[in-house]
Amino acid sequence: MGTILDMLHEHSRAWNAHDAAKVASCYTEDCVQENAATGEVVKGREGVKASLEATFTNHPDVKVEVKNVFVSGNWSASEMLMIGTNTGRGLTGGPPTNKPFSVRVCRVAEYEGNLVKRTTVYFDMMTFLKQLGMLPATPG
């Protein structure tokens, strides 16, 4: 697959194509993926695939725009913008809001070779929920 940077670009292309199997192929069989905003921890390549399939079902127009990527040794950090519309069951398990969202995301990953061994995703859950109308907007 080339370098870690090549893999990151392939990962983003597959993510935006909603190809859960292709994205999952960028991970080791025993990987761990943590979502710091929700507390969700997904283990294994098949777990990553299932989690992505749910994301793509609940937000069928979701895309990521990669803004910056840093690679050092076997680590990377990616700054992204995630945009989409909540048209399916969301993070809260409630009904769809049919509202758009645009949330800044940071993803930190550790690699084994050129495959993701462990990754943690960070994003502002409060902003996300406000955009979906699940929390009141901040005055002012």
Residue 74, pLDDT score: 96
User: What is the CATH class of 4-131?
Assistant: alpha beta
Per-residue tokens: 33: 């993926």
Confidence of residue 89 (pLDDT cuts 50, 70, 90): confident
Per-residue tokens: 32: 């761990």
Domain segments of the chain as ranges: 4-131
- For residue 92, the tally of other CB atoms under 10 A from its CB is 12
Over residues 25-67, the pLDDT tens digits come to 999 999 999 999 989 999 999 999 999 999 898 889 999 999 9
Work out the percent of the chain whose per-residue pLDDT is above 90.
73
From its phi and psi, is residue 18 left (phi > 0), alpha (psi between -120 and 50) or beta?
left
Lowest mean pLDDT among 77-86, 91-100, 110-119, 124-133: 91-100
